[in-house]
Amino acid sequence: MLTIGIILGSTRPNRVGDQVARWVLEHASRRTDARFDLLDLRDHPLPHLDEPMPPSFGQYQNEHTRRWAETIASYDGFVIVTPEYNHGIPGVLKNALDFLYAEWNNKALGLVSYGATGGTRSAEHLRLVAAELQMADVRQQVVLSMITEFENFTLFKPGDYNLGALNTMLDQVVAWTTALAPLRTTPAAVA
């Protein structure tokens, strides 16, 4: 069975992303075409990128990097839940992505963003990063406004109208994850 990691891309105190990620997981877990797990970056603390060699070489020297690489390599695709900070993704998410290379390659990526404008700029930023990591980001995105989907900007209360976008995005992630499977099993994909 396909395994899809839902990455919670914020570690900020009092974050609201955990509510969003649990909502995604709750709906995704009802599916029978893949298994979904929550990957909270708080549970995978990484220092600011401290590997002496570029990640594309795959010569990880630090134990924390090897553990992160093993975790990411075990998934066939991803959904990233990201807030928008200053028109981009959180530094902790960028750092987690930058630590690895081959482990991200040939995997599908779905995006769930939130912020004052729905996090659209962070999602666009993330698409650029994903392209360099050879990830296939799907077209459908879930965009959640802090104004309409959060009570007092803190309590996540999504409207049911968001479920169509969520289900379509999950359909696309599963389809692309399936389609990319042969590329993940070739020797070039693990080199």
List per-block mean pLDDT (blocks of 10 residues) for the chain, which spans 191 residues.
97 96 98 98 96 95 97 98 96 98 98 96 97 98 96 95 98 98 71 42
The pLDDT assigned to 185 comes to: 80
- Predicted pLDDT at 63: 97
Q: What is the pLDDT of residue 169?
A: 98
pLDDT at residue number 189: 44
User: Which two structure tokens, joined as six digits, stand for 184?
Assistant: 């993940």
CATH topology of domain 2-190: Rossmann fold (3.40.50)
| Domain segments of the chain as ranges | 2-190
Q: Which of 104, 110, 37, 21 is nearest to 68 (CA)?
A: 104
Based on DSSP, count helices (H) and strands (E) in the chain, helices before strands: 6, 7
In whole angstroms, give the CA distance from residue 36 to residue 13: 25
Look up the pTM and report it: 0.95
Contacts for 156-159: CB closer than 8 Å, 24+ residues apart: 156/16, 156/19, 156/20, 156/23, 158/23
CB 49 within 8 A of CB 95: yes
